[in-house]
């Protein structure tokens, strides 16, 4: 009986790790260089919480925190590319999944490594 519990626990851990690092086909992960090339012609959205955003964010980004995305999804246009970023990449993946599923957004990109790897210009509030 105990072995089954361990197998279930192991399966859940493997699934959680897979889910965190798997990038779906509709989401394109971009290096900072490629991200910079395209984000000025797109909707640049920071999905971190307001206190993180105020501590420093990519110039020109809008803050729509992951915790508010459900209520504010209509602020994201479906006819323009969407460039997402968060601190490390996990929340931007979640945001991409939500925007694809609920808003039908097709053109979605996110920053490899997230804001913590960003070396470009930033703005602080």
Which domains does the chain show, CATH number per domain? 25-123 (3.40.250.10)
Pairing state between β 43-46 and 62-63? parallel
Q: Give the residue, 56 or 14, on which the prediction is more confident.
A: 56
pLDDT at 9 over 70: yes
DSSP, res 4: H
Pairing state between β 122-123 and 43-46? unpaired
- End-to-end CA distance of the chain, in Å? 56
Give the pLDDT confidence score for residue 36 in this predicted structure: 94
Give the pLDDT confidence score for residue 5 in this predicted structure: 87
Q: Give phi and psi for 79, each to the nearest 5.
A: -100, 10
Beta bridge partner(s), residue 108: 27, 82
Give the pLDDT confidence score for residue 11 in this predicted structure: 85
pLDDT at 55 over 70: yes
| Structural contact between residues 48 and 68, judged by C-beta atoms closer than 8 angstroms | no
pLDDT at 21 over 80: no
The pair of structure tokens assigned to 62 is 């809008």
Q: Which residue has the tokens 């997402």?
A: 84
Residues labelled as active-site residues: 86
The kind and range of the H/E element at 14 are helix 2-21
Q: What pLDDT band is residue 2 in, cutting at 50, 70 and 90?
A: confident
């Amino acid at each position: 009986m105990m072995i089954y519990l361990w197998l279930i626990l192991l399966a859940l851990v493997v699934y959680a790790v897979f889910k965190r690092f798997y990038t779906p086909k509709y989401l394109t992960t971009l290096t900072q260089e490629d991200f910079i090339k395209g984000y000025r012609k797109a909707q640049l959205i920071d999905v971190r919480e307001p206190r993180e955003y105020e501590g420093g964010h990519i110039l020109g980004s809008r803050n729509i925190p992951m915790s508010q995305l459900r209520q504010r999804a209509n602020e994201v246009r479906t006819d323009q590319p969407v460039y997402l970023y968060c601190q490390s990449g996990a929340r931007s993946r979640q945001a991409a999944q939500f925007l694809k599923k609920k808003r039908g957004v097709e053109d979605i990109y996110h920053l490899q490594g997230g804001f913590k790897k960003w070396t470009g210009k930033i703005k602080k509030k």
